[in-house]
Amino acid sequence: MDLMGMINLNESEEYLQELTQHRPLAAIPFGGRYRLLDFVLSNMVNSGITNVGILFQHKYRSLIDHLRSAKEWDLARKRDGLVILPPAYSNFSRPVVHGGDVENFYSNLDYVRYSRQPYVVIAGSAAICNLDYRPVLEYHLGQEADVTAVYTTENCSRTNCRGAVTLNVDNDGKVMDMQVNPGSFGRQKLSMGMFIMKRELLVELIEDCMAHGGYDFVKHCLIRNLEKLRVFGFAHSGYSARIYSLDSYFRHSMELLQPAVWQELFFHAGLIYTKIKDEPPCKYTETAKVSNSLIANGCLIEGTVENSVLFRAVHVDRNVHIKDSIIMQKSQVDKGAVLEHVICDKNVHITAGCRLRGVVNYPMVIKKGMVV
């Protein structure tokens, strides 16, 4: 495979602070047993990529624990495999000025420079999809492009395109303009934060960007050079979810309860891999009532669960009613509790008789380890 992968974890967490206080965005649990990072990493592995570098930013202890040797992704290899790329502040002897992703690329440029693959795909963890990068590379080569940006078309409202990068693409697929968070409405072409280019071009862009005081990869490496480079857009027509806020996280988690979405996201172009944990199957007692829900293994269900996502080893006691909610790993809900539009982070304990109710566009979040 002529493609190497770089996963850039310098991502905005501004509107997800309830879930990112102790973890980066890439480590947020999703879909009952996965982390957001699993999707981009699995996409790369399923595309035949065997050399993947992850650019860490901060709060990455949980990701180190999740990845371990990377054997679940078949990246525990003698040659290539998974490479942990530390943040710039741990590599530079001088203080990091801006804290942008360009400094992270620059401090790990030797890894890029000495890799064997001629092309590189750069992607983040905020865009969830099941995508094979090989057709994107073929498109890139066919267009003789310098850079190919993967995009999806969405109907923007005031909130669901917040912070997005929009593309203006002509009839030949050439990107004529890129804007960061322009506040546009209607149908827009949104960048999925995935770019393919020659490895050597990436080195040139990063070195030039640092020399001219740039610190943001999209703004200062790509948009500033848009007139010099042949940048093309590749349209992804399948399911995609952009996780940028609590609302978007909750909404896209609930979409997994639609069988068509589940099938496409987890099986379309390849399987999604994650850290393996040995848990027994879920146990349902005679009093359990479950409808339209994702229940991970290791759970004990004695109450009622509807339209909800339960992660591993959750205990739902008798006379509990959970509706339209997300309950993360090893949480416990005691007898008589009622939850609706609630997100419980890991190891939460909801005591007997407690009633918690959020709303669809603003779910209530119970932080990790809390007792309510």
Look at the alpha carbons of 365, 367, 369, 372 in this order and tell me if their dihedral is positive or negative: negative
Question: Model pTM?
Answer: 0.94
pLDDT of amino acid 31 = 95
Output DSSP code: residue 284: E
d(CA 190, CA 152): 5
Q: What tokens does 352 get?
A: 């007997």
pLDDT band at 192, cuts 50/70/90? very high
Q: Which of 212, 37, 53 is nearest to 126 (CA)?
A: 37
Strand 51-55 and strand 81-85: the pairing is: parallel
Report strand pairing: 186-198 vs 165-169: antiparallel
Report residue 156: phi and psi, to 5°: -80, 140
Q: Residue 217 and residue 203: Cα distance in Å, rounded?
A: 12
Per-residue tokens: 221:
């490496």
**Token reading at 46:** 């399923």
Contact indicator for 351, 335 with CB cutoff of 8 Å: no
Report residue 99 as tokens: 């804290």
Confidence class for position 110, pLDDT limits 50, 70, 90: very high
Q: Which helix (H) or strand (E) holds 292?
A: none
The token duo for 257 is: 């309860």
Instruction: Retrieve residue 288's tokens.
Output: 């359990």
Question: Which amino acid, 316?
Answer: V
Give the pLDDT band of residue 6 (cuts 50, 70, 90): very high
Which tens digits make up the pLDDT trace of 200-231?
Answer: 999 999 999 999 989 999 999 999 999 999 99
Q: What is the pLDDT of residues 294-313, one digit of tens each?
A: 999 999 999 999 999 999 99
Q: How far apart are CA 169 and CA 222, in angstroms?
A: 15
Query: How many angstroms separate the Cα of 81 from the Cα of each of 2, 88, 96, 313?
Result: 14, 22, 28, 31
High-pLDDT (> 70) share of the chain, %: 97
For tokens 């987890």, name the residue.
Answer: 266
pLDDT of 268: 82
CA gap 322, 341 in Å, rounded = 9
Q: Give the rounded distance of the alpha carbon of 295 from its chain centre.
A: 21
Binned at pLDDT 50, 70 and 90, residue 99 comes out as low
**pLDDT band, residue 100 (cuts 50/70/90):** confident
Give the tokens for residue 95: 């203080």
Q: Report pLDDT for 96.
A: 57
Averaged over 341-369, what is the pLDDT?
95
Measure the CA–CA gap between 347 and 111, rounded to whole angstroms. Answer: 38
Instruction: Quick: pLDDT tens for 28-69.
Output: 999 999 999 999 999 999 999 999 999 998 888 899 999 998
Alpha-carbon span 34 to 311, nearest angstrom: 9
Would strands 175-180 and 165-169 be described as parallel, antiparallel, or unpaired?
Answer: antiparallel
Q: How many Å apart are CA 107 and CA 113, to the nearest integer?
A: 12
SS3 content of the chain, % helix, strand, coil (to 5): 25, 30, 45
CB-CB neighbours of 217 under 10 Å: 23
* Higher pLDDT pick, 14 / 259: 259
**pLDDT at residue 135 in the model:** 97
Query: At 159, is the pLDDT very low, low, confident or very high (cuts 50, 70, 90)?
Result: low
